[in-house]
Amino acid sequence: MTVIKNTAGPGAHDTGARNTEARNIEATKAIYAAVPAGDLDTALQYMDPDVRITYYGTETIPYAGDYHGITEAISFFATVGQHIQIVEMEPWRYIAQGDDLAVWGRQRFRRLATGYEWQSEFAHIITLRDGRWLYFRDFMNSALTQEAFSR
């Protein structure tokens, strides 16, 4: 979102906020490109040491849960990579306000053990600090993912 400041005259924009928002979107795009490609090192460069990842779902989904810190983030991505392939990731809308970012899109997955594929739209709610993910929440149709792991 654009922030308007009156101190520099009518209509002047806060370029600091716009720069922060642009940096946060670029960091998120870098993670979105790195993770499906299996490039965890690049993804981790854009994560705060205190990162928290929350993936909502039941215990049927092996990677559902709440992960805190880089070590647990690595565990999350390793568990994801052991069970699924992200076949396609298509974010189509980014809305930024300061260090908060909402992303809407669609993902397609393949379960490695069975070859079963499914897709779901998603909403990712991300809080960043200094251009790095601090808190990532993944909202998608977890019923479809649960079904994939029940097959």
Helices (H), the chain: 15-34, 40-45, 69-83, 142-150
d(CA 113, CA 46): 30
142 Cβ neighbours under 8 A, 6+ residues apart: 56, 57, 58, 61, 64
In a domain, 9, yes or no: no
pLDDT (tens digit per residue) in 58-114:
999 999 999 999 999 999 999 999 999 999 999 999 999 999 999 999 999 999 999
The single-letter code of the amino acid at 93 is: R
Domain that holds residue 31: 15-150
Count of domains forming the chain? 1
- pTM, whole model, 2 decimals? 0.87
In a domain, 1, yes or no: no
Query: CATH number of the domain that 80 lies in?
Result: 3.10.450.50
In a domain, 10, yes or no: no
Element (H, E) at 51: strand 47-55
